Amino acid sequence: MASHRNFTIATDVQVYFCDPRSPWQRGSNENTNGLLRQYFPKGKPVDGYSQADLNKVAAQLSGRPRQTLQFMNPAKKLAETLGVALTG
């Protein structure tokens, strides 16, 4: 986020930086890490997985409804936000 000022100017969206060692400030990030641990155990290198394996996990997580998105899945919420139709 070295260019966060440029991002803020271009999008009129403020950038917030969490304090170090403060996981409670990054709830969604911590939740996503927990979801990823269901597929990738801690300590096991991800380079042992194929790109197809990684794509499958990404698709599964993007299709999983989230309470913070009013029980929409991330892919659908992004499409709604961008005003585009999902295919497939």
State pTM to two decimals.
0.64
The answer to whether 41 and 49 have CB atoms below 8 angstroms apart is: no
Radius of gyration of the chain (CA): 16
Q: What is the mean pLDDT of the chain?
A: 89
Question: Among 42, 74, 81, 80, which Cα is nearest to 58's?
Answer: 74
pLDDT in tens, 49-62: 999 999 999 999 88
What's the burial of 74, exposed, middle or buried (CB within 10 Å: 0-12/13-18/19+)? Answer: middle
